[in-house]
Amino acid sequence: MSSTSETTTAPAAREVGGVFAIVCGAALFGTTAYFARVLPETGMAAPAITFFRFALTALVLSPFLVLRGPGLRATLWGIVGGATIALGWIGYVVAVRTLPVAEAGVLFMTYPLFAMGFAAILFGERPGARGAVAAALIVVAALVGTPIVSFGVALGAVLFGLTTPAAYGFLLNVIAHRLGTLPPLAATGSVSLGAVIGVTPLMLQLEPSEILPAEPSALGLLAAMSLFSAFMPQLIYVTFAPRLGAVTTAIAGSAELPSMFLIGWLAFGEPLTLAHAAAASLIMIAIAITPQNPPATRMHAPLHDEDAQGGAPRS
């Protein structure tokens, strides 16, 4: 009886731990709001900010890339996902030039809906009733936390902002369903490399003055952005998302919205309100009710040594 109880409890504890890890990673992703607002003020164009956000991680992790054997296909998926999110990130940087950080956060928080759509259409992962309710709660939380009445005068910014949740929803599915066969550093490197590749054509069109910040002191901001808004949260996501599935990961990642509120308050003086508190509470409820039982498929299993060598997988 005791052995059975321990067997049942251990996976549940791992799932809860995975959700907590994704919440922490989401908070790190929330620092993107700060860099997206500050770095354009140094003269950098959006493609350049995107490039440097991922370039350092891609460079450091390049020796870990899996470029042969069964892992090559997963690496290519990571590159495609990274290229997609690079374009979405550019849309976000453009959006926050016009919209307050918190309002851009409202648009971004539609990404669980995109994630669920891609999960169902491309990978057959169904959200279930609780997952769908949780996603709806997240959108409601975003609307409660930041009324969107001002969006009507910034339609272009809204459209740019929607590229980010769509791209992010797709990337979450790539991570959850295709990168679980790679070691975490290899998976993180593939996504970062894809982002660099995706934004390079836009980089080539920039004036030299738009590529680097006008003041050398801002180079520290680039390094901090690469570490806190790219390398660390990506590593967390590629480690835990394949165990949780795209739907649970997307909902747990909604913890990014409260962190955006905090960034707006601490860095830019945007007020915190009772509406923000209500939004954060709704997000916590959404995370709490989300099912944590992704389908146990081969795509969620780690890459073993014999897999890399082309041998038979372990059972």
Question: Which sign does the torsion angle of CA 190, 170, 40, 201 carry?
Answer: positive
- Res. 109: pLDDT tops 50: yes
User: 257, exposed or middle or buried, with CB in 10 Å at 0-12, 13-18, 19+?
Assistant: buried
Between 84-93, 291-300, 303-312, the lowest mean confidence (pLDDT) is in: 303-312
Instruction: Kindly provide the b/e burial profile for residues 181-219, where b requires at least 16 CB atoms within 10 angstroms of the residue's own CB.
Output: bbbbbbbbbbbbbbbbbbbeebbeeeeeebbbbeeeebe
> Per-residue confidence at 33, pLDDT binned at 50, 70, 90?
confident
CA distance to 2, 11, 13, per residue, from 6 (Å): 6, 9, 10
According to the model, what pLDDT value does residue 62 have? 96
Which residue pairs, CB below 8 angstroms and at least 24 apart, start in 153-161? 154/98, 154/99, 156/98, 157/94, 157/95, 157/97, 157/98, 157/99, 158/95, 158/99, 158/107, 160/91, 160/92, 160/94, 160/95, 161/91, 161/92, 161/95, 161/99, 161/104, 161/107, 161/108
Residue spans of alpha helices (H) in 62-179? 71-98, 101-108, 111-123, 128-145, 155-178
Residue pLDDT, tens place only, 64-93 = 999 999 899 999 999 999 999 877 877 777
Give the model's pLDDT for residue 313: 33
Sketch the domain layout of the chain as residue ranges: 28-308
Q: What is the mean pLDDT of residues 95-107?
A: 72
Whether the predicted pLDDT of 152 surpasses 70: no
pLDDT surpassing 60 at residue 179? yes
Task: Determine the Cα–Cα distance for residues 107 and 160; give it in Å rounded to an integer.
Answer: 10
Mean pLDDT of the chain: 83
Q: What is the pLDDT of residues 251-270, one digit of tens each?
A: 999 998 888 888 888 888 88
User: How far apart, in Å, are the Cα atoms of 250 and each of 7, 117, 149?
Assistant: 27, 12, 26
Quick check: 146 pLDDT over 70? no
Span of 35-39, 107-111, 120-124 with lowest mean pLDDT:
107-111
Does the structure show a pLDDT above 80 at 306? no
Of the candidates 29, 147, 152, 164, the one whose C-alpha atom is nearest the C-alpha of residue 96 is 164
Assess whether pLDDT exceeds 50 at residue 38: yes
Exposure string of 55-90, with b = 16+ CB inside 10 Å and e = fewer, is bbbbeebeeebbeeebbeebbebbbbbbbbbbbbbb
pLDDT of residue 21: 95
* pLDDT tens string 181-236: 999 999 999 999 999 999 998 888 899 999 988 888 788 999 999 999 999 999 99
